[in-house]
Amino acid sequence: TTAPEVHRGLAGVVVDTTGISTVIPETNSLTYRGYPVQDLAAHRSFEEVAYLLWHGELPDGAQLREFRARERALRPLDRTTAELLAKLPETCHPMDVLRTAVSFFGAEDPTEDDGRPASGLAKSLTLLAKLPTVVAADQRRRRGLAPIAPDPDLGHAENFFHMCFGAVPAPEVVRCFEVSLVLYAEHSFNASTFTARVVTSTLSDLYSAVTAAIGALKGPLHGGANEAVMHMLEEIGDPARAADWLDDALAAKRKVMGFGHRVYKHGDSRVPIMQAALDELVALAADPGTTRLAALHAALREAVLDRKGIHPNLDYPAGLAYHLMGFDTPVFTPLFVMSRVTGWTAHITEQLAHNALIRPLASYDGPEQRPVPASA
């Protein structure tokens, strides 16, 4: 018998249908429920995009008001969660904190296994509302500071800055952050979303699926790349060193973080809009350190394109933008989670509405069948 064809990394394999988002290669565009993501980023809030991903349509005025009121009411953490998170070691990576928090939310939720899609959306909104509170408390804990309670008078993005830093920055900064949330929200069958769908396909619960998805996003080949971008820029240090650093990195067969993509081979459709938002942040800061970092960022981008013909992905501009906003580098991937939780949970609902257990095959290349020897 001939060995079956193997699709390593499931590259190019279509495993199901989805109505949530698609990449259109001809126009290099990404749509959420049919709407181009760059138009959503330019004209709509992250809350509206979350509603769109979950319900299939943008909210009208009354729906948005209700959605916002519910999100604001759900932000606070109960005392048990706050105490649990405060007990985690200070060396714990923020992604581990977040993964633990979601797992704990599942353990505490008495409706955890009722399996109704409507309750799935209620749990999704709870995560959307509470994850920023967890991330902000952890960002402060890393600096030896006490948490700041959520402010129900502030929008989602403004409140997050308030909880992290005790102040809401300039509107351009909030806007740049919100653009990153809209762009990160959803991207079809990426590794973490697929992970969430695999877990859901066994009819496991939403918290288990999101906990697993956080684990998948953490790795540097996926969401961990936005953190890795910043470490890399710090390692290079000087715009004049970018090209030489790259030559050494490529000679050592290192992957350049924030470049390349499984689906986009001629540039990530989300990058131009994120880069434009980043350029605004750089112009706003107008200090020599920022200008130098931006020059280094541009020099490495040009060098990678020149040497390898590889384009940056969303993590490349987002990583530097998060740094300029004042977040600690290890907190960057949790910011991605705060956004992608909307896409994950939309996919969990879609998977349940049309479930098939995800269970592929493997082509065996181990030892031939053999007798078990008598024990010694």
User: Which residues participate in catalysis according to the annotation?
Assistant: 261, 315
User: Which of 236, 256, 273, 277: binder of ligand CMC (CB under 6 A)?
Assistant: 256
CB 233 within 8 A of CB 320: yes
For the bound state, the minimum distance from the C-beta of residue 9 to ligand CMC, rounded and expressed in Å, comes to 6
Q: Which of 240, 228, 372, 242 shows the shortest CA–CA distance to 305?
A: 242
State whether the Cα torsion 78-84-90-93 is positive or negative: negative
Distance CA 121, CA 353 (A): 13
| Among positions 55, 70, 140, 262, the unique one binding ligand CMC when judged by CB under 6 A | 262
- With CB under 6 A as the contact rule, the residue among 255, 279, 285, 298 that binds ligand CMC is 255
| Residue nearer to ligand CMC on the CB measure, 163 or 341 | 341
Are 336 and 226 in contact, with CB atoms under 8 Å apart? yes
Question: How far apart (Å, rounded) are the C-alpha atoms in residues 48 and 33?
Answer: 12
275 binds ligand CMC (CB under 6 A): no
Of 257 and 303, the one with the shorter C-beta distance to ligand CMC is 257
d(CA 80, CA 76) in angstroms, rounded, equals 12
CA distance 142 to 139: 5
DSSP-derived 3-state class of residue 326: coil
Contacts with ligand CMC by CB under 6 A: the residue count is 19
The smaller minimum CB distance to ligand CMC, of residues 30 and 50, is found at 30
Residue span 304-333 as binding mask against ligand CMC, x where in contact by CB under 6 A, dash where not: ----x-x--xxx------------------
CB of 251 vs ligand CMC, minimal distance in Å: 11
Give the footprint of ligand CMC on residues 138-157 (CB under 6 A). Answer: none
Q: Tokens at residue 207, please?
A: 């918290």
Residue 114 is encoded by which pair of tokens? 């009722």
Q: How far is the CB of 333 from ligand CMC (least distance, A)?
A: 9
157-216 positions binding ligand CMC, by CB under 6 A: 190
Task: Give phi and psi for 259, each to the nearest 5.
Answer: -125, 150
Binding to ligand CMC by residue 246, rule CB under 6 A? no
Q: Closest-CB residue for ligand CMC?
A: 260
Query: Which residue carries 């000087």 as its tokens?
Result: 238
Residue numbers of the site for ligand CMC (CB under 6 A)? Answer: 9, 190, 221-223, 225, 255-262, 308, 310, 313-315
